[in-house]
Structures are given as structure tokens and as C-alpha cells.
Amino acid sequence: MLVKSMFDELSELNARPALFSTVTTPELWTDPHISERMLAAHLDPDLDLSSYRAEFIERAVTFITGYFELGPGKRLADFGCGPGLYANRLAATGCAVTGLDFSSRSVEYARAAAAKSGVDARYLHQDYLSYRDTERYDVIIMIMRDYSAMVPDARRRLLRVVRQHLAPGGAFLFDVDAVPAFDAVEEKAVYSPSLMDGFWSARPYFGFLNTFRYETERVSLDKYEIVEETQTKKYFNWIQFFTPEQLTAELGEAGLALVEITGDVAGASYHPAAPQFAAVSEVSR
Ligand SMILES: C[S@@+](CC[C@H](N)C(=O)[O-])C[C@H]1O[C@@H](n2cnc3c(N)ncnc32)[C@H](O)[C@@H]1O
């Protein structure tokens, strides 16, 4: 039997993957152990990790409610709603809210939270990339820069779904990572037993994190290899860093027009040097 040397194994582990070669988004969000850790991060009011921190969410809900004049008669969908931190608050305005997420743990939490606070919101355990509904929405939101974490083909699919489900005059609000944040990305290789304090598995493991930069495309990759006794799992976290021009072009190809840029989904002013921005877009053709 040919046994690979440790040198070969480590060479392979540290090799730069081809751009967008592997997508692991569903595994990242639906693995039972990881989704439990993700939910804890969502619900930590002081963390800007899976969700923004609580104080920001309150401001964003106030902004979104006012900007889109939400209330009875309006319909809103929250794509990748997580545990419903926005959806349940927005539903409290009387607006008809549908939250979509493919993490069953998050959807269950969101439903329970809605029931507990007496809020009427519809939650679908659903991959938004394959969403087909007769419902049309005045507003679709996607928050926490999820758009940046999608590979180009998924972004195209998403925009088709968004376009199909917007009511006439409807708008899509989302946020993205901006090019100035790419400047701060450093290539690195990190190794640790139980990397990130057991985040990746309930079983003992050794974790390897490699961060790569893809200069021309302004993309970063955090690749996690989680080596357990009987299996190795890999998670690829791609981030596309946008300029407003690039986003405008991408939306344009999907028949959407960027109608306003803000600094974030809570209505801050756009700043070209900031690490993120948000966009409001509408159907253009
Ligand atoms: C970074 S979290 C943000 C959650 C929520 N928007 C918030 O800010 O609290 C991304 C969420 O999108 C969900 N998600 C990612 N890709 C999805 C897909 N294709 N279909 C449905 N949900 C998806 C994940 O399960 C996760 O709950």
C-alpha cells in the first residue's frame, strides 16, 4: 500500500484551490453540530458573527420599517432569515412576513419565537435558490452579507428568484462586503486541535484554516479542513468583495437596477472606504 508522507499531505492541505472550485454552503449551515453553534452565535447580542449584534438589529428594523413603509397590506420575504431576528420584529408591524432558511434548527427557533411573542410570521424550511411560490413581495431582504458569500452561479440563481418574486414596484435590500475590506485580508495558515473551541465537530478533531486571496477577482477564501479519527471534512468560505459598479453590473444582467446605496441595512450613509455597503434594487426590465 502506498502511504502518503506527511509532507505530501501538508502540501495538499496548503495548496491553493481553484477559484470557486468547491461549494459547501449547505453543509456549513445544516450540519447538526455546527448549526447548534451557529444558533448560539446568532443569539449572542454582542457578537457580529452569524447575525449582527442586537443593537444594530433594532436600528435596522426601524430603518427598514420606515424606508419601505411596512405595516398591514405590505408583504416582505426574508431570504436566509436565520432564527427570525428581523422577520419576527418586522412581522410585529402588521406586515405579512415570510422567512426562508434551509437550517431546520433556525427555522424551528424562529417559529417558536414567533409563537412565544404572539407574532404572525410564515416560516419556510426552504433553499431560497430553488424557491418557487405564487406569492409576490413588496420587499425582499437578505441580511449579513450573504450575497458576498455566494459563488457567481448562486448569485445569478438568487437574483432570478428575487426578480420572479418581487411584486410590481417591489424592492430587494441586501448588504455586501466592499473592496476596502479585501485589503485587510491576509493569507495565512493556522493549525489547532479543536480549532475554534470545538465549533466544527462534537468529536475530537484537528483543524486547519487556510486563508487565500484571489487578487484579480477580489475574492478571499477561508478553507477549513477538519480532521477526525474516521473522516476529514472541508468547508469553503468564499467572499466576493464588491464595488458599487460591479454590483450595478451584476444586478443589471439579472434585470434589476440598483436604486440606492447605503452604508448598511440600518440606513447609514455610504462611504467608499467602508468595509461594507448595502443596496436597494428594483426590477428594471
Ligand atoms: C449569516 S446567516 C444570516 C441570518 C439572518 N439573515 C441574520 O442576519 O440574522 C445566513 C443564513 O442564511 C441561510 N442560508 C444560506 N444559504 C441559504 C440558502 N441557499 N437557502 C436558504 N437559507 C440559506 C443560513 O442557514 C443562515 O441562517
Q: Tell me, what's the pLDDT at 144?
A: 97
In short, whether 82's Cβ falls inside 6 Å of ligand 1 is yes
The CA distance from 9 to 57, in Å, is 44
Domain boundaries, the chain: 32-178+243-283, 180-241
The CA distance from 110 to 120, in Å, is 11
CA of 172 to the centre of ligand 1 (A): 16
Average pLDDT over residues 123-139: 97
Average pLDDT over residues 159-183: 97
CA of 147 to the centre of ligand 1 (A): 10
Average pLDDT over residues 144-173: 98
Q: Distances in Å between the alpha carbon of 233 and those of 25, 31, 72, 161, 276? A: 13, 11, 46, 30, 30
Task: Tell if the pTM clears 0.75, that is, is over it.
Answer: yes
Pocket test for ligand 1, best of 50, 55, 145 (most atoms within 8 A of CB): 50
* Mean of per-residue pLDDT scores for the chain: 96
Which atom of ligand 1 sits closest to the CA of residue 52?
Answer: 8
CA of 35 to the centre of ligand 1 (A): 11
Residue with CA closest to ligand 1 atom 12: 80
Which atom of ligand 1 sits closest to the CA of residue 50?
Answer: 1
The CA distance from 138 to 136, in Å, is 7
First-residue to last-residue Cα distance in the chain? 61
What is the percent of the chain where pLDDT is above 70?
99
In short, whether 74's Cβ falls inside 6 Å of ligand 1 is no
What is the per-residue pLDDT across 45-77, written as a single tens digit (0 to 9) for each? 988 888 999 999 999 999 999 999 999 999 999
Fold observed for domain 32-178+243-283: Rossmann fold (3.40.50)
What is the per-residue pLDDT across 189-229, written as a single tens digit (0 to 9) for each? 999 999 999 999 999 999 999 999 999 999 999 999 999 99
- Identify the three-state secondary structure at position 123: strand
For the cut 70, the answer to whether the pLDDT of residue 1 exceeds it is no
In short, whether 266's Cβ falls inside 6 Å of ligand 1 is no
